């Protein structure tokens, strides 16, 4: 870490700094990376806590709080990088409000190392919430859960996490806290008195007689870490896992159609807009992508699969011709000899 | 600005006729007296009549216009509502001015997904107006929100007083449809989050009309906070005001809005709107907290204690919405208030690390003496965005140039302390030549290469943002070491 000024809400680090080190340092000052970057380690059969801050940017990581606070792209303030041409350049700065020149920091977010190698990154940091409580609505089917999450997101309770775990998935998280059926989770974070008030407000929004369980403190944190890191599918297998982003109201419709043709385990984050899918057989890329188009668009990334499947299937969502051509032209402007992570993107 | 292309100027009549073919009816304006309305934007010191003004109504028309111009090497300047403060929409003599104001419809309000799909000419406030009866709003609120268009907001990555808590345009736009200079129509994002490929939406936001023309915008809307209350706090020095801001944030509080004014700005505002501002203080801070009532009350108490610890001389807490709005009245009228005490003023827009505020204010005071011009400051204290207003008289020979020199020195100072040239107004024409203060040649070359991916012939809004234009082929030059070409046997043309 090269700079950390808590009162200025800013942190700079060399790209290879471990994320865990950064998060520890921030926690000591009651701050955090508000976009809640996920840890792919366990899902991919590795250890947890091995990511770097540069990788966080390259993969544009985020977590359940994506729906309120954004992803890495929304918190990156500036970068130093070396392009595929071997030329060092910088973009952005260390302040939040900055429109000086094109935002090349954002281009680096989610570029998976194909454009340039980041050497230094500067992120906005924010105060961590004082406390959190999760409301659990038991026993909802996917469509009712999506409607409940939309109601919660449309209330003034400032919900900072909205996930739905169908029965099979719910049984595997929270050390049995959710056993006995599907669980729809609504997280409320903030100052103590405010959290109490908003929990009450949310209960009222659902009508006084709705059944809720409440999970607070460290148990709530553990639950959301499981959702964030896709732990229900961290099973040590190579079964294909898709990460699919669609309009929150549409994703479950595509999945209902998919279930007619394929065996799949699913759970939802982002109020229904993010679906994690574990295929019990083939990846079914064409089928899934056809359904995404049919239900209003979005994208699916094959984040886990056998080597053979990953070689045979485009892991990123294919783009329409004009957009694909534009992406290729952008790649050429950063890395004309195609030496950076060749074969991926652009 | 780039030298006007004589061939294009000669073909003006033919181009106008062809534009009328593409946009029938009243969508093509070529009479000089009618084009006057479009000769400048919010940076009124610069004026230029365009070749012709075209106001398309459909994406198809925009596509045809751009393709036509691309094939014939005709320059195009896109324009939203024309409220840019940096000359981003300044016309060029040999360029078609593409005005997007007839794209003025809200296409969809989707509460289930909490998004609004709008045409780019809809005003920023128009989006909030369309959803406020249902308790929702669109968060970024640039002060020109009554007039500025959402398409223009995308081009400039507009902010506003609430952006520390709620983000800039880039954090609130989910998708766009845009037309490239070659006429191709592409969609980026939509109602879903994140991109399947490169974050081109992130590049487009704040690209100042140099990469493409936005024809549709999808934004996220939020539920309006239950309550908002404000504190009006006076300090004997700007250092104490600045320390109070740092302590509030250090305590884990992110206010909805946090604004500071210096003594000249306080006095100008008070004389104009009689907001009841304390006149003896050097720095006045407005802190607005929003959210559930119980949270706001809790935080008001914390902020008040922090203010007292920093030796505040006055601290008023709003007890009604009317009182809260009266605190804001002076701040919101700061620009016209300064307009009353000076024939002209020049509004700057640097951002600095907050802790450098006392140093930058002191630097500005000595520059003010050096240039013999007064300056008043309003400051988005939460995010470090500074708006010095330089007072001058355009009728006095040489005074505009002096004001511009003063402004450039202020921005150099911002960069020197770790800040940037522009926080929210854009580079445009105004700060173009200062870009090398912040960026090296390699930095600027890489930015221009991005431009080459979108518009290789530099036809879209040329002369803005970049201090010098280089041909894309030139930027793609190979590094030749010791006279040896890489891969010498590959034919090159």
> In the sheet that B95-99 helps form, which strands lie side by side, from edge to edge?
B28-29, B52-54, B95-99, B75-79
Strand partners, A276: A243, A267
Residue B492 lies in a domain: no
How far from A265 is each of A169, A170, A279, B417, CA to CA, in Å?
Answer: 8, 11, 7, 53
pLDDT in tens, B271-329: 999 999 999 999 999 999 999 999 999 999 999 999 999 999 999 999 999 999 999 99
Q: Is residue B482 part of a domain?
A: no
Residues B355 and B400 in one domain: yes
Residue B80 has pLDDT above 80, yes or no: yes
Tell me the mean pLDDT in the region B209-228.
97
Spatial contact of A24 and A128, defined as CB atoms under 8 Å apart: no
* pLDDT of B336 higher than 90: no
Instruction: State how far the Cα of A33 lies from the Cα of A19, in Å rounded to an integer.
Output: 10
Q: If we measure between CA atoms, which residue out of B222, B197, B195, B259 comes closest to residue A74?
A: B195
How many whole angstroms separate alpha carbon B109 and alpha carbon B133? 12
Which chain B residue lies closest to A245 (C-alpha atoms)? B192
Closest-CA distance of chain B to residue A119, Å: 14
Domain boundary among B170, B198, B223: B223
Helices (H), B223-320: 238-250, 263-273, 293-309
pLDDT at B487 over 50: no
Joined tokens for residue A245: 């982003």
Residue A272, Ramachandran bin (φ over 0: left; ψ between -120 and 50: alpha; else beta): left
Contact criterion met (CB below 8 Å) for A110 and B193: no
Residue B156 — very low, low, confident or very high, per pLDDT cuts 50/70/90?
very high
**In this structure, are residues A78 and A93 in contact, taking their beta carbons and an 8 Å threshold?**
yes
B134 pLDDT band, cuts 50/70/90, is: very high
Cβ–Cβ gap B196/A193 under 8 Å: no
Query: Chain B residue closest to A251 (CA)?
Result: B192
The shortest C-alpha distance from A175 to chain B (Å) reads 30
CA distance A303 to A275: 12
Residue B479 lies in a domain: no
Average pLDDT, chain B: 93
Q: CA B398 to CA B405: how far, in whole Å?
A: 11
Cross-chain residue pair A98–B188, CB shorter than 8 Å: no
Q: How far is B66 from chain A (nearest CA, A)?
A: 15
Q: Is residue B482 pLDDT above 80, yes or no?
A: no
Task: Give the bridge partners for B110, in sequence order.
Answer: B115
Choose among B111, B113, B114, B116: nearest CA to B127: B116
Q: Which domains does chain A have, with CATH numbers?
A: 3-127 (3.30.465.10), 131-229 (3.30.70.2190), 233-312 (3.30.70.100)
Please name the member of B198, B225, B250 whose beta carbon is closest to the beta carbon of A345. Answer: B198
B400 and B462 together in one domain: no
How many other C-beta atoms lie within 10 A of the C-beta of residue B93? 16
How confident is the model at residue A174, as a pLDDT? 75
pLDDT given for residue B488 in this prediction: 47
How many angstroms separate the CA atoms of B261 and B389, rounded? 11
Domain containing residue B316: 227-335
Count of other CB atoms within 10 angstroms of residue A155:
18
Listed as ranges, residues in chain A with pLDDT below 70 are 346
Residue B382 has pLDDT above 70, yes or no: yes
Where among B64, B99, B134 does a domain terminate?
B99
Q: Is the pLDDT of residue B61 over 90?
A: yes
* Pair (B311, B278) in one structural domain: yes
Quick check: is B484 in a domain? no
Q: In terms of Cα–Cα distance, which of B74, B50, B59, B49 is closest to B23?
A: B59
Q: Which of A98, A254, A336 to probe the B interface (max B CBs under 10 A)?
A: A98
On chain A, the residues whose CB falls within 8 A of the CB of B351 are 93, 95-98
CA of B429, closest CA in chain A: separation in Å?
A: 12
- Indicate which CATH number applies to the domain containing B300: 3.30.70.3450
Nearest chain B CA: its distance from A69 CA (Å): 9
Q: What pLDDT is recorded for position B138? A: 97
Selected residue of A97, A246, A336 to mutate for chain B interface (largest B Cβ count, 10 A) = A97
Task: Give the CA distances from residue B176 to residues A115, A248, A252, B184, B189, in Å, rounded to whole numbers and listed in that order.
Answer: 23, 18, 24, 14, 7
Which CATH number is B361's domain given? 3.30.70.2740
The answer to the question of residue B486 being in a domain is: no
Q: What is the pLDDT of residue B491?
A: 44
Q: Is the pLDDT of residue B119 over 80?
A: yes
Mean pLDDT on B71-98: 97
DSSP B493: -
pLDDT-derived band at B476 (thresholds 50, 70, 90) equals low
Q: Answer whether residue B430 shows pLDDT above 60.
A: yes
> Is the CB of A100 less than 8 angstroms away from the CB of B170?
no
Residue B485 included in any domain: no
For B418-448, letters b (16+ CB in 10 Å) and e give bbbbbbbbbbbbbbbebbebbbeeebbbbbb
Q: pLDDT category, B490, cuts 50, 70, 90?
A: very low
A319: which chain B residues are within 8 Å (Cβ-Cβ)?
Answer: 196-197
Q: Three-class SS string for chain A?
A: CCEEEHHHCEEEEECCCEHHHHHHHHHHCCEECCCCCCCCCHHHCCCCCCCEHHHHHHCCCCCCCHHHHCCHHHCEEEEEEEECCCCEEEEECCCCCCCCCCCHHHHHCCCCCCCEEEEEEEEECEECCCEEEEEEEECCCHHHHHHHHHHHHCCCCCEEEEEEECHHHHCCCHHHCCCCCCEEEEEEEECHHHHHHHHHHHHHHCCCCCCCEEEEHHHHHHHHHHHHCCHHHCCCCCCCEEEEEECCCCHHHHHHHHHCCCCEEEEEEHHHCEEEEEECCCCCHHHHHHHHHHCCCEEEEEEECCHHHHHHCCCCCCCCHHHHHHHHHHHHHHCCCCCCCCCCCC
Q: Do residues B242 and B174 both lie within one domain?
A: no
Same domain, B429 and B440: no
Q: What contacts B266, CB < 8 A, 6 or more positions away? A: B277, B278, B279, B281, B284, B330
How far A275 CA sits from the closest chain B CA (Å)? 11
SS3 at position B152: helix
* Inter-helix orientation angle A251-259/A142-153, to 10°: 170
Number of domains chain B contains: 5
Of A137, A249, A227, A230, the residue nearest A182 (C-alpha): A137
Residues near A172 by Cβ (< 8 Å), separated by ≥ 6? A231, A232
In this complex, the residue of A101, A246, A334 whose CB is nearest that of residue B439 is: A101
Provide the pLDDT for residue B484: 52
Q: How far apart are the C-alpha atoms of B218 and A298, rounded to whole Å?
A: 14
Write out the two tokens for A338: 């195609």
Q: Do the domain assignments include residue B481?
A: no
CATH of the domain at B81: 3.30.43.10
Nearest to A194 by CA among B395, B178, B462, B293: B293
Give the model's pLDDT for residue A346: 66
Among the partner-chain residues A97, A101, A109, the one whose CB lies closest to the CB of B423 is A97
What is this structure's pTM?
0.95
Taking CA atoms, A39 is separated from A162, B188, B194, B349, in Å, by 19, 27, 17, 39
Which residues face B97 on adjacent strands?
Answer: B53, B77
Q: Do residue B199 and residue A336 have CB atoms under 8 angstroms apart?
A: no
Which of B198, B223, B248 terminates a domain? The answer is: B223
Q: Give CA torsion, residues B398, B403, B405, B410, to 10 deg.
A: 170
Of B194, B250, B442, the CB nearest to A88: B442
B34, pLDDT greater than 90: yes
Tell me, yes or no, whether B489 lies in a domain. Answer: no
Answer yes or no: do A73 and B202 touch at CB < 8 A: yes
């Amino acid at each position: 870490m090269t700079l950390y000024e808590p009162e200025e809400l800013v942190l700079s680090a060399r790209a290879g700094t471990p994320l865990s080190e950064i998060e520890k340092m921030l926690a000591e000052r009651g701050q955090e990376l508000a976009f809640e970057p996920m840890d792919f380690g366990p899902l991919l059969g590795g250890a947890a806590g091995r990511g770097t801050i540069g990788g966080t940017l390259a993969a544009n990581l985020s977590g359940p709080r994506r729906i309120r606070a954004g992803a890495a792209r929304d918190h990156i303030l500036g970068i130093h990088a070396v392009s595929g041409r071997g030329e060092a350049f910088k973009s952005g700065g260390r302040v939040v409000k900055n429109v000086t020149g094109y935002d090349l920091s954002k281009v680096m977010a989610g570029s998976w190392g194909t454009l340039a190698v980041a050497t230094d990154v500067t992120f906005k940091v924010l105060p961590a919430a004082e406390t959190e409580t999760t409301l659990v609505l038991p026993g909802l089917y996917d469509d009712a859960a999506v409607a409940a999450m939309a109601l919660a997101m449309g209330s003034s309770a400032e919900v900072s996490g909205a996930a739905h775990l169908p029965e099979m998935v719910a049984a595997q998280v929270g050390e049995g806290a959710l056993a006995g059926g599907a669980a729809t989770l609504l997280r409320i974070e903030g100052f103590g008195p405010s959290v109490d008030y908003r929990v009450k407000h949310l209960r009222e929004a659902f009508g006084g007689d709705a059944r809720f369980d409440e999970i607070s403190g460290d148990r709530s944190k553990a639950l959301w870490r499981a959702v964030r890191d896709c732990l229900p599918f961290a099973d040590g297998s190579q079964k294909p896992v898709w990460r699919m982003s669609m309009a929150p109201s549409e994703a479950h419709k595509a999945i209902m159609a998919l279930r007619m043709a394929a065996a799949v385990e699913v759970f939802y984050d982002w109020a229904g807009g993010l679906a994690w899918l574990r295929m019990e057989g083939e990846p079914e890329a064409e089928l899934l992508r056809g359904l995404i188009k049919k239900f209003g668009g979005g994208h699916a990334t094959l984040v886990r699969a056998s080597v053979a499947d990953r070689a045979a299937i485009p892991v990123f969502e294919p783009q329409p011709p004009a957009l694909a051509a534009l992406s290729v032209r952008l790649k050429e402007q950063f890395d004309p000899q195609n030496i950076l992570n060749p074969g991926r993107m652009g | 600005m780039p030298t006007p292309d004589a061939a294009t100027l000669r073909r003006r009549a033919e181009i106008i006729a062809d534009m009328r073919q593409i946009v029938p009816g009243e969508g093509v304006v070529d009479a000089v007296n009618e084009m006057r309305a479009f000769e400048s934007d919010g940076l009124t010191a610069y004026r230029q009549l365009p070749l012709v003004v075209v106001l398309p109504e459909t994406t198809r028309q925009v596509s045809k216009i751009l393709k036509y111009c691309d094939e014939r090497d005709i320059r195009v300047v896109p324009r939203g509502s024309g409220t840019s403060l940096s000359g981003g929409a300044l016309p060029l003599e040999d360029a078609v001015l593409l005005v997007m104001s007839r794209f003025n419809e809200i296409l969809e309000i989707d509460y289930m997904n909490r998004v609004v799909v709008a045409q780019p000419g809809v005003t920023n406030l128009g989006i909030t107006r369309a959803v406020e009866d249902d308790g929702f709003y669109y968060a970024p609120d640039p002060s020109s929100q009554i007039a500025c268009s959402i398409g223009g907001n995308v081009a400039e990555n507009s902010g506003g007083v609430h952006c520390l808590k709620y983000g800039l345009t880039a954090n609130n736009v989910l998708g766009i449809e845009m037309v490239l200079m070659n006429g191709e129509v592409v969609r980026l994002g939509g109602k879903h989050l994140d991109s399947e490929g490169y974050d081109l939406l992130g590049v487009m936001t704040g690209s100042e009309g140099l990469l493409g023309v936005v024809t549709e915008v999808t934004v996220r809307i939020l539920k309006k906070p239950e309550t908002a209350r404000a504190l009006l706090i006076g300090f004997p020095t700007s250092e104490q005001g600045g320390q109070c801001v740092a302590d509030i944030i250090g305590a884990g509080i992110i206010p909805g809005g946090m604004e500071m004014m210096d003594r000249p700005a306080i006095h100008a505002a008070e004389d104009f709107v009689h907001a009841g501002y304390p006149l003896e203080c050097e720095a006045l801070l407005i802190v607005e907290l929003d959210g559930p009532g119980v949270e706001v009350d809790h935080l008001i108490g914390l902020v008040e204690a922090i203010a007292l610890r920093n030796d505040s001389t006055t601290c008023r807490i709003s007890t009604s919405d009317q009182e809260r709005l009266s605190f804001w009245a002076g701040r919101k009228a700061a620009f016209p208030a300064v307009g009353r005490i000076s024939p002209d003023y020049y509004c700057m827009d640097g951002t600095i690390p907050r802790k450098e505020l006392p140093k930058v204010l002191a630097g500005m005071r000595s520059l003010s003496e050096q240039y013999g011009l007064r300056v008043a400051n309003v400051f988005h204290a939460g995010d470090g965005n500074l708006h010095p207003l330089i007072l001058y008289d355009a009728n006095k020979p040489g005074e505009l140039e002096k004001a511009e020199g003063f402004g450039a020195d202020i921005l150099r100072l911002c960069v020197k302390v770790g800040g940037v040239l522009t926080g929210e107004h854009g580079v445009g024409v105004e700060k173009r030549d200062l870009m090398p203060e912040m960026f090296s040649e390699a930095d600027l070359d890489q930015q221009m290469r991005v431009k080459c991916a979108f518009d290789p012939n530099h036809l879209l809004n040329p002369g803005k943002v970049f201090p010098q234009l280089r041909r894309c082929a030139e930027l793609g030059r190979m590094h030749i070491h010791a006279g040896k070409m890489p891969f010498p046997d590959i034919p090159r043309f």
